[in-house]
């Protein structure tokens, strides 16, 4: 184990051991309330902070306390250690997300054996590690949103590169599968040629470096497409810094607060996203309702989530239950904020 990781793990151990001083597994020293543990794959990123704020609203509405834990960087090893350190605390309600589908499953299974209800969001973990996964939107809808944004940036299409954090993230792999199918079957998307997949580890510095190197290696490159809100701002910065604005674009998913400059100067003309706030809210609302026995996790069941709407539950072929937030938005110049973003037209979702 690297020295820095060892230090992080030891610090996490100190933090987790001290948890009973302010919050127990289901009812701590804060008035005997139930406690929801919010454990994003890493903290300090605005996306997960917004999702945490949404989860906190659900907790406040339903009378729970909330504790946030997690590594400060996207380090799967430290994230898994955080979960392992939590197992003895016997948490009863958890909302979490991981950069690796398989690594956290053993620790999550131990928590479930102790009665914990676990809802994952952003990207699911393997079978047995969650009660239900909240997807941002059907993978095909996400793929359409990204291809539509690529078309808006460059209707002529051309050679593009797919950017992902790592090879083992279900979300990115499923979206890319749907992108490939759409490019092969929908005439307007056939203008795109995906020539490579590159990995940036959810690290803006690496995304900048990978993007810069890719543009040098592919002088005729038209653009980059990614579901990563970490990669797109860095990639757009690399495009600007190398003088390729207007010739190369980077789009897909991104947070509006990180893309204002690029929309204003035309480096990026459109990107997409869903509300991370309501993403966290829905995940926490479901976790609490499932744990209290008020929501049944069942294939075909429909749950009415306040502020979101009615959403159906589904079972994947490999036995993972999931549902969708499905509130996709387009951001353009003049439509840069959550308040004035353009809702994805229903007819696009039906392609």
Residue 235 confidence (pLDDT) above 70? yes
Q: Which of 179, 160, 267 shows the shortest CA–CA distance to 223?
A: 160
pLDDT tens, residue by residue, 79-115:
999 999 999 999 999 999 998 889 999 999 999 999 9
CATH topology agreement for domains 3-136+276-324 and 139-273: yes
Residue 11 confidence (pLDDT) above 70? no
Could you give the CA distance from residue 18 to residue 22 in angstroms, rounded to a whole number?
8
What pTM does this model have?
0.77
Binned at pLDDT 50, 70 and 90, residue 279 comes out as very high
Residue 17 confidence (pLDDT) above 70? no
pLDDT tens, residue by residue, 51-82:
999 999 999 999 999 999 999 988 999 999 99
pLDDT tens, residue by residue, 188-234:
999 999 999 999 988 999 999 999 999 999 999 999 999 999 899 99
Token pair, residue 299, equals 């294939």
Contact present, 315 and 305 (Cβ < 8 Å): no
Could you give the CA distance from residue 105 to residue 170 in angstroms, rounded to a whole number?
14
Residue 276 confidence (pLDDT) above 60? yes
Q: Which of 3, 9, 134 shows the shortest CA–CA distance to 70?
A: 9
**Residues facing 321 on adjacent strands:** 315
Binned at pLDDT 50, 70 and 90, residue 168 comes out as confident
Residue 28 confidence (pLDDT) above 50? no
Going from N- to C-terminal start, the domains of the chain cover: 3-136+276-324, 139-273
**Residues facing 252 on adjacent strands:** 226
**Average pLDDT, rounded, for the chain:** 90
The DSSP code sequence of 225-291 is EES-TTHHHHHHHHHHHTT-BTTBEEEEB--HHHHHHHHHHTS---EEE--HHHHHHHHHHHHHHHH
What confidence score (pLDDT) does residue 242 get? 98
What confidence score (pLDDT) does residue 280 get? 97
Residue 264 sits at φ, ψ, to 5 deg, of -65, -40
Rg of the chain over Cα atoms, rounded to whole angstroms, equals: 20
Please state which architecture CATH assigns to domain 139-273: 3-Layer(aba) Sandwich (3.40)
């909302």: which residue's tokens? 95
| Burial status of residue 278 (CB atoms within 10 A of its CB: 0-12, 13-18, 19 or more) | buried
What confidence score (pLDDT) does residue 171 get? 86
Secondary structure percentages of the chain, helix, strand, coil, to 5 = 40, 20, 35
Residue 12 confidence (pLDDT) above 70? no
What is the SS3 assignment for 39? strand
Could you give the CA distance from residue 38 to residue 26 in angstroms, rounded to a whole number?
13
Lowest-confidence region among 15-24, 94-103, 162-171, 268-277: 15-24
């992080």: which residue's tokens? 8
Residue 8 confidence (pLDDT) above 50? no
Q: What is the mean pLDDT of residues 270-292?
A: 97
Q: Which of 37, 240, 12 shows the shortest CA–CA distance to 4?
A: 12
CATH topology (fold) of 3-136+276-324: Rossmann fold (3.40.50)
What confidence score (pLDDT) does residue 294 get? 98
Contact present, 188 and 215 (Cβ < 8 Å): no
């Amino acid at each position: 184990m690297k020295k820095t990781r060892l230090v992080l793990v030891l610090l996490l151990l100190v933090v987790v051991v001290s948890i009973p001083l302010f919050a127990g597994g289901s009812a701590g020293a804060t008035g005997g309330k139930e406690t929801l543990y919010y454990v994003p794959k890493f903290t300090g990123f605005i996306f997960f902070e917004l999702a945490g704020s949404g989860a906190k609203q659900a907790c406040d509405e339903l009378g729970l306390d909330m504790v946030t834990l997690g590594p400060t960087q996207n380090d799967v090893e430290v994230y898994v250690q955080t979960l392992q350190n939590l197992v003895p605390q016997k948490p009863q309600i958890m909302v979490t997300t991981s950069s690796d589908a398989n690594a956290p499953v053993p620790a999550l299974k131990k928590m479930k054996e102790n009665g914990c209800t676990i809802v994952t969001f952003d990207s699911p973990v393997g079978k047995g590690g969650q009660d239900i996964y909240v997807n941002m939107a059907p993978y095909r809808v996400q793929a359409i949103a990204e291809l539509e944004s690529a078309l808006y940036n460059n209707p002529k299409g051309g050679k593009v590169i797919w950017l992902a954090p790592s090879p083992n993230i279900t979300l990115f792999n499923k979206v890319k599968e749907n992108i490939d199918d759409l490019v092969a079957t929908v005439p307007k998307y056939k203008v795109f040629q995906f020539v490579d997949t590159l990995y940036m580890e959810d690290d803006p510095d690496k995304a900048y470096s990978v993007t810069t190197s890719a543009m040098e290696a592919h002088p005729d490159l038209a653009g980059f497409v990614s579901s990563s809100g970490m990669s797109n701002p860095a990639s757009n910065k690399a495009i600007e810094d190398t003088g390729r604005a207007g010739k190369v674009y980077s789009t897909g998913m991104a947070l509006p607060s990180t893309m204002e400059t690029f929309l204003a100067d035309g480096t990026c003309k459109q990107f997409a996203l869903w509300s991370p706030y309501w993403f966290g809210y829905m995940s926490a609302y479901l976790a609490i309702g499932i744990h209290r026995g008020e929501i049944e996790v069942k294939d075909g069941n429909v749950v009415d989530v306040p502020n979101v709407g009615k959403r159906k539950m589904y079972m994947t072929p490999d036995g993972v239950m999931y549902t969708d937030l499905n509130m996709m938005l387009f951001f353009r110049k003049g439509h840069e904020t959550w308040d004035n973003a353009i809702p994805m037209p229903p007819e696009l979702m039906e392609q």
